[in-house]
Structures are given as structure tokens and as C-alpha cells.
Amino acid sequence: MVSIDFDFLRQQKLARTKHRPENVGAVVTMVLLYKNLHDHYGFGRTRFQYIMDQFERWVNEEWNITQKQVDDVVARRGLDETLYRDYMQRCSKLVNKNTDDTYFRIMGREPVRNAKERAGYNEAAEIAYKTVLLILTKYLGFGKKRLNDLQKYLKEDMWCILEGRVKLIEFMWMLHNSCAQDFGALDDWLEKYGKVYQDDGLPLWPNKIMYE
């Protein structure tokens, strides 16, 4: 009789689903938000944990309830719709292998490959973007200026990635070392490659890599 390792099969299934588009869209957006909350407002492990606790509470509700709260709270406090749309129009390009190959190197393929997956990715990115801004305005005292500044910083980092000046894995590594944040993508990267930077401090690979 052939013995079946069900635990191994469960782990394999988890590995295949962990980086599904809906997860990746949220993770990428949270990484960029956290990076700028850390750099510009001094956020660290404690406040990030608070955001995650609140985030889980809101996202466990129906999205239309969260959307209503966004309309009632965030919009009134000055959400810049142009900056928001700029991010949403380009955010799926952040995981394109010719822009940022972080997920391509981890998965062996791009996490977003068709229109359906892109829709799931974008929906998750939207929920992450708006729910974090909701938490910042409703519970952490962010007004119009800080809200709009954060949106600008987010857009600037988005362009840094799109132009090949930095990789998502570098932001994850910084947040892990500075704020004890854990990311499944970072765990998988380190398991596969062992490090993010070479011994001379340069990225493990050039940021702009073109694939045939």
C-alpha cells in the first residue's frame, strides 16, 4: 500500500494559494503604506499591530459597509481622488516581471496573468488602501494634509518601483528589520535565495531585468 503524506499535500496546497492575486494586491499596498508610515511618521511595530487589528475587524464586515465608512469618514477628511486613481491604475504593474521580479522569482511565474486575476488583485489593493486610510483618519488622528502627503509618498514609491530603482523585496526587508514585520513573500525569498543584498550591499540582482 502506498502511504500518502497528507500533511505534505496540505503544505503544498498552502504554498500554491498563499500568493494568489487577492493576497498579493493587499500585501503590496500594505508594504508601500507601511514603508511610508514608518519613514515619515515614525510608525513601528506597535502601531502597525494596531492597524492590523483594526483592519481585520473592518474587513471581516461586508466590503460595502467598509466602503460606506470610507465615504463618510475618509472622503470628508480630504482623500485625494486623483492620487488614489493614479495608484489603482498602475498597481498591478508593480508585480509585472519586467517591472519588479520579486514575485516572479519566488513563484516562477507572475502572480497576475489574466483579467480575472487582475480584478482580484485590484479589489484587494483597493480594500487595503481605503481601509488603512480609514483607520488612520478615524482612529489615529490623520487629517487632510497628512492623508494627502501619505498618498503622495505612496505614489512616489510606486514610481520608484515602476522605474526599476527599488524592489518590493527591499521594502519588505527594511520593514522586517526595522519594525519586525513578517511577510510570506520575504520568507519564501530567503528560503530560496538566502539573502536580499550582496555582501557589498548592492541588491542581489539588478532591479531592471528583462525576460524573453
Reading the chain (212 residues) residue by residue, the pLDDT tens digits are: 444 444 444 444 444 456 788 889 999 999 999 999 999 999 999 999 999 999 888 877 777 777 777 777 777 888 899 999 999 999 999 999 999 999 999 988 899 999 999 999 999 999 899 999 999 998 999 999 999 999 999 999 999 999 999 999 999 999 999 999 999 999 999 999 999 998 877 777 765 444 43
Specify the pTM. Answer: 0.86
Every domain of the chain and the residues it spans: 19-193
pLDDT of residue 78: 87
- Sequence-distant (6+) residues with CB within 8 A of 165 are 207
pLDDT of residue 168: 96
pLDDT of residue 17: 55
Residue 194 CB neighbours (<10 A): 8
pLDDT of residue 207: 54
What's the CA gap between 133 and 148, in Å, rounded?
10
The cell for 130 is 481605503
What's the CA gap between 80 and 15, in Å, rounded?
37
The number of helices, as runs of H, and strands, as runs of E, in the chain is 10, 0
